Chain A
Amino acid sequence: MSKLVIASIGPASSVQDGGRPGAQRYGLVPSGAMDRLALAAANTLAGNEPFTAVVEIGPFGAKFTARGSAVRVALAGAPRNADIAGRAVASDTSATLADGETLTLGFARGGSFSYLAIEGGIAGEPMFGSLAVNARAGLGSPYPRPLQAGDELQTKAASGAPEQRIELPAVTDAPIRVVWGPQDDEFADDTKKQFLDSEWKISATSDRMGYRLEGPVLKHLHGHNIVSDGTVNGSLQVPGNGQPIVLMPDRGTSGGYPKIATVISADLGRFAQIPAGRAFRFRAVSMPEAQVEARKFAALLRTLPERLRAIESVDLNIDALHDANVAGHAVNAVDAGTWHAVTLADIAGPD
Chain B
Amino acid sequence: MAATLPPPRLLPSGDSAITVEFSRNIDDAANRRVLALDRAMAAEPITGVTETVPTYRSLLVHYDPVLIDFEKLGETILALAQRPVPATTKTRRWRIPVVYGGEHGIDLEDVAKTLNTTPDDIVARHVAGDYRVAMIGFTPGWSYLSGLTDTLHMPRRQNPRLLTPAGTISIGGVQTGVQCLAGPSGWHLLGQTAVRTYQLHRDPTFLLEPGDNVTFAPVDAKTFAEQDRAAEAGEFIAEQIAT
Is B26 on the interface with A (CB-CB < 8 A)? yes
Contact call A27/B137, Cβ cutoff below 8 A: yes
Is B24 on the interface with A (CB-CB < 8 A)? yes
Shortest Cβ distance from residue A180 to the other chain B in the assembled complex, whole angstroms: 7
Contact call B135/A264, Cβ cutoff below 8 A: no
Contact call A27/B185, Cβ cutoff below 8 A: no
Q: What string of 1s and 0s marks CB contacts (under 8 Å) between A187-198 and chain B?
A: 000000000000
Known: A179-B14, A263-B14, A295-B65. A137 touches B172 (CB 8 A): no
Contact call A252/B184, Cβ cutoff below 8 A: no
Known: A22-B51, A24-B53, A182-B12. A229 touches B140 (CB 8 A): no
Is B99 on the interface with A (CB-CB < 8 A)? no
Q: What string of 1s and 0s marks CB contacts (under 8 Å) between B179-202 and chain A?
A: 111011111000000000010100
A226, A232, A290, A350: the one contacting B187 at CB < 8 Å is: A350
A226, A235, A265, A350: the one contacting B15 at CB < 8 Å is: A265
Question: How many A-B contacts if CB must be within 8 Å?
Answer: 177
Contact call B66/A295, Cβ cutoff below 8 A: yes
Contacts of B25 in A (CB 8 A): 227
Identify which of residues 50-73 in chain B touch chain A, using a CB-to-CB cut-off of 8 Å: 50-60, 62, 65-66, 69-70
Contact call B51/A345, Cβ cutoff below 8 A: no
Contacts of A263 in B (CB 8 A): 14
Is B142 on the interface with A (CB-CB < 8 A)? yes
The SS class assigned to the A binding surface is mixed
Contacts of B59 in A (CB 8 A): 230
Known: A27-B138, A228-B55, A294-B66. A137 touches B181 (CB 8 A): yes
Q: A262 to B17: give the CA distance in the assembly, Å.
A: 10
Is A293 on the interface with B (CB-CB < 8 A)? yes
> Whose C-beta in chain B lies nearest to the C-beta of A185?
B11
Q: A262 to B11: give the CA distance in the assembly, Å.
A: 11
Q: What string of 1s and 0s marks CB contacts (under 8 Å) between A244-269 and chain B?
A: 00000000111100010011111000
> Whose C-beta in chain B lies nearest to the C-beta of A285?
B15
Total interface residues in chain A, CB < 8 Å: 53
Total interface residues in chain B, CB < 8 Å: 58
Contact call A137/B140, Cβ cutoff below 8 A: yes
Shortest Cβ distance from residue B139 to the other chain A in the assembled complex, whole angstroms: 5
Contacts of B15 in A (CB 8 A): 179, 262, 264-266, 287, 290-291, 293-294
Is B113 on the interface with A (CB-CB < 8 A)? no
Contact call B177/A350, Cβ cutoff below 8 A: yes
Contacts of A264 in B (CB 8 A): 14-15
The 6 closest A-B pairs by CB, nearest first: A230-B60, A254-B137, A262-B14, A182-B11, A290-B15, A345-B184
Point out residues on B near A: beta carbons under 8 Å.
11-17, 19, 21, 24-26, 38, 50-60, 62, 65-66, 69-70, 135-142, 144, 156, 160, 162, 172-173, 175, 177, 179-181, 183-187, 198, 200, 205-206, 210
Knowing that A136-B183, A232-B62, A264-B14 touch, tell me 11 more A-B residue pairs with CB under 8 angstroms: A25-B136, A27-B142, A179-B12, A230-B53, A230-B59, A231-B60, A233-B14, A294-B16, A344-B139, A349-B156, A350-B186
CB pairs A–B below 8 angstroms (7 shown): A26-B206, A137-B198, A226-B24, A262-B13, A287-B12, A291-B15, A344-B139
